[in-house]
Structure formats: structure tokens, C-alpha cells
């Protein structure tokens, strides 16, 4: 039996496992919301309940971003609201740094700290979290795991035409 993982490594490994449920063709992201070392909810990036996923319908790209999917952090926060689970004072573990929209949701959900396994190029998200006093901590991933880029090759992503582009 190997060395026992720290709590941060343990929850980050769970976030990595949750990411494997993602239906996004571009990046697989997982999130876990924890309070008092107990998992409250999990989330991964994918389409809203009952709607077609990128796996079956292709990505709906607008300005280089897929708008079909909810982000992992959003899904974890929504799951908490859906099931009546309080997130105030909780900690979020996510395989990637949150974007600015997720950062704002994290602040409003009362989450007090965010651990990430990899960075994401969104400076405003960093500003939102910093201004709100929510620390962002980069966690070394458990041995055997690499940085969670999980980006699929471009030729596997099929874009859906945006009708607004023709207007």
C-alpha cells in the first residue's frame, strides 16, 4: 500500500475522476464542492439535462467557445441548489482554473476557497476571486496524473453553425 494522499490530493483525484463523465469534445473538467471534508456535490462540463451533448450534436462554437455546455463549477453549484445543499463556507476543487462567470458564481455561492489542478487563461476570473477574498490554490496532482489539459485534437470537434453569424 502506497502513501496515503493528503485531503487536497484526495479531493483533486475525485475531481479528475468526475471529469471523465464530461461530454465536451474540447476539454474535460471536473469539480467537487466540499465542506468539513465531506463531498457536497460534483459537476462536470456538459449540456443541460435533457438537451443534446457535444458528443452527439457537436460543439456549438461562438467566438471560439462552445456555448452548448455548462461548466463543471456551474453544474456543481446548480446541483447543490437543485438538491437544497448549502454551499456557504465550502471549498471547491476543480481540475482547471474557473472562468470569470464561474468565479462570480463561486463568490455568490459563498464558497471560500478554490483548489485547482491546472490554470486557464482568464485574468479577470483571478481578479474576481482575489477581490472577493477567495484564495485560489494550485494543487500538485497525484502521482501518475499529468496537468489536466484533456483537450481533444481539433479534427475531432465538429462545430455547429451559429445562425446569429449570418445576421
Q: Which residues are identified as catalytic?
A: 73
Q: Rounded to whole angstroms, how far apart are CA atoms 95 and 97?
A: 7
Q: Which stretches within the chain are classed as H helix? A: 7-19, 54-57, 72-82, 100-108, 123-131
The gap from C-alpha 65 to its chain's centroid, in whole angstroms, comes to 15
Cβ contacts of residue 18 below 8 Å, gap of 6+?
30, 31, 32, 42, 43, 44, 72
Q: Rounded to whole angstroms, how far apart are CA atoms 43 and 52?
A: 17
Q: Pairing relation of β-strands 30-35 and 38-44?
A: antiparallel
Residues 30, 20: contact at Cβ < 8 Å? yes
- Residue 56 dihedral angles phi and psi, to the nearest 5°: -105, -30
Amino acid at each position: 500500500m502506497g502513501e496515503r494522499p493528503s485531503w487536497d490530493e484526495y479531493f483533486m483525484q475525485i475531481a479528475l475522476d468526475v471529469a471523465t463523465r464530461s461530454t465536451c469534445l474540447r476539454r474535460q473538467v471536473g469539480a467537487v464542492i466540499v465542506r468539513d471534508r465531506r463531498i457536497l456535490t460534483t459537476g462536470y462540463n456538459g449540456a443541460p439535462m435533457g438537451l443534446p451533448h457535444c458528443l452527439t450534436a457537436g460543439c456549438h462554437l461562438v467566438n471560439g467557445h462552445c456555448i452548448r455546455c455548462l461548466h463543471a463549477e456551474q453544474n456543481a453549484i446548480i446541483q447543490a441548489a437543485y438538491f437544497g445543499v448549502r454551499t456557504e463556507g465550502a471549498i471547491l476543487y476543480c481540475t482547471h482554473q474557473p472562468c470569470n462567470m464561474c468565479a462570480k458564481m463561486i463568490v455568490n455561492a459563498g464558497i471560500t476557497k478554490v483548489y485547482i489542478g491546472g490554470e486557464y487563461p482568464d485574468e479577470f476570473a483571478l481578479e474576481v476571486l482575489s477581490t472577493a477574498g477567495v484564495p485560489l490554490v494550485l494543487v500538485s496532482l497525484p502521482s501518475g496524473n499529468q496537468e489536466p489539459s484533456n483537450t481533444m485534437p481539433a479534427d475531432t470537434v465538429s462545430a455547429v453553425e451559429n445562425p446569429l453569424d449570418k445576421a
